[in-house]
Amino acid sequence: MAGASKLEKLPPWGNAVAGSAGAVLANALVYPLDIVKTKLQVQVKRAPGSYAEAAASSPDHEHYASTLDAITKIVKAEGVAGLYAGMTGSLIGVASTNFAYFYWYTIVRTLYLKYSAAPGTAAELGLGAVAGAVAQLFTIPVAVVTTRQQTTTKLERKGLLATGKEVIDSEDGWTGLWRGLKASLVLVVNPAITYGAYQRLKESLFPGRTALKPWEAFALGAMSKALATIATQPLIVAKVGLQSRPPPARNGKPFKSFIEVMQYIIEHEGALGLFKGIGPQILKGLLVQGFLMMTKERIELSFILLFRYLRQVRAEKLQKLANIAAEKAQQSRPVLLK
């Protein structure tokens, strides 16, 4: 596989930088969709058409009927800047998560190859899951702080460090920064489903083909990402509910588990409430996946060319030194013969 060979030519930090840079660029381009899907996922609609109650249960006391409605109302209330609230923390989280993921994936895969042959589909998914779990352990505090920033009003919104301190003071101490960790660890199955679905779709739609055209790969990637998002959306919604402020109906009592969040949503909104915000969630996933992989490929190629150039320069320098040494040796030879 071309991608795998490129991955093995780069050191862990090189692959990590390429992945995190691609992820930051991709998420920066579609960040408004991220904040919209988060706001849609935390609002609780108590009854069909009950906009007053829905607004009261929303952290910013506003009801959003759709993605477009949310964008319109956010811009009206806070200006265009409102679509980028919490963006600094989010991009720090994206960069750290992807750096950690690609770094640990490279290390785990290298260790695997030392003791076994090239991994099959199941082993590849397992390696990705291990890398994803390790990355989550190190980076989930930033996700908790960013979610809190995205779901507060403009007047209540604080900076990154101040929001982190608020989480520590108002909840379970430092452990509050790891709220939603179990859901995050379970959600490492999302990329596993994406990859598995991609392989199955490729084998079904393009049997016998080893390489796909760029648009074909993008289309299959988009379809597989959509399937993975639909399968894991209830967990995504539960994770956001865990990391945001609790609904007013709970009188400030935070959720203790993602199962508790899901039970609360089903009780107040029905089972379909577990899929709220899925529109912008899927759209964001498709765009981020496409931009990330395209950018990552280009950065990896740039690193490979840079390393090749540096090796060439070093080889030329060593050759030059060897030639100088050889010339000196040749010049001194007649003297020795006299």
Q: Which domain holds residue 222?
A: 2-337
CA distance 12 to 8: 9
Q: What pLDDT is attached to residue 238?
A: 85
Helices 214-243 and 121-150 cross at an angle (nearest 10°) of 50
Q: How far is CA 201 from CA 10, 227, 287, 304, in A?
A: 29, 11, 19, 31
Token look-up 């390696």 returns: 127
Instruction: Give the count of beta carbons closer than 10 Å to the beta carbon of residue 99.
Output: 23
Q: Which two tokens stand for residue 40?
A: 């849609």
Q: What pLDDT is attached to residue 8?
A: 44
Q: What pLDDT is attached to residue 315?
A: 83
* One-character DSSP codes across 195-215: HHHHHHHHHHHSTT-SS--HH
CA distance 23 to 29: 10
Q: How far is CA 227 from CA 35, 196, 201, 299, in A?
A: 22, 10, 11, 28
Instruction: Give the count of beta carbons closer than 10 Å to the beta carbon of residue 320.
Output: 10
CA distance 166 to 157: 11
What length is written for the chain? 338
Q: What pLDDT is attached to residue 82?
A: 87
CA distance 336 to 338: 6
Q: What pLDDT is attached to residue 294?
A: 66
Q: What pLDDT is attached to residue 54?
A: 46
Q: What pLDDT is attached to residue 172?
A: 64
CA distance 321 to 324: 5
Q: What pLDDT is attached to residue 44?
A: 66
User: What CATH number should be reported for the domain holding residue 68?
Assistant: 1.50.40.10
Q: Which two tokens stand for residue 219?
A: 């289309």
Number of domains forming the structure of the chain: 1
32, 260 in Cβ contact below 8 A?
no
100, 137 in Cβ contact below 8 A?
no
Three-state secondary structure along 293-323? HHHHHHHHHHHHHHHHHHHHHHHHHHHHHHH
Sign of CA pseudo-dihedral 277, 283, 287, 289: positive
Q: Which two tokens stand for residue 277?
A: 């915000």
**What type of residue sits at position 203?**
E
Q: What pLDDT is attached to residue 317?
A: 85
Q: What pLDDT is attached to residue 336?
A: 47
Assessment of whether the complete model's pTM goes beyond 0.75: no
Give me the average pLDDT of each 10-residue run along the chain (338 residues): 46 75 82 86 60 49 80 89 85 82 80 77 73 80 81 75 80 74 77 70 77 71 82 85 77 79 87 86 79 68 75 83 80 56
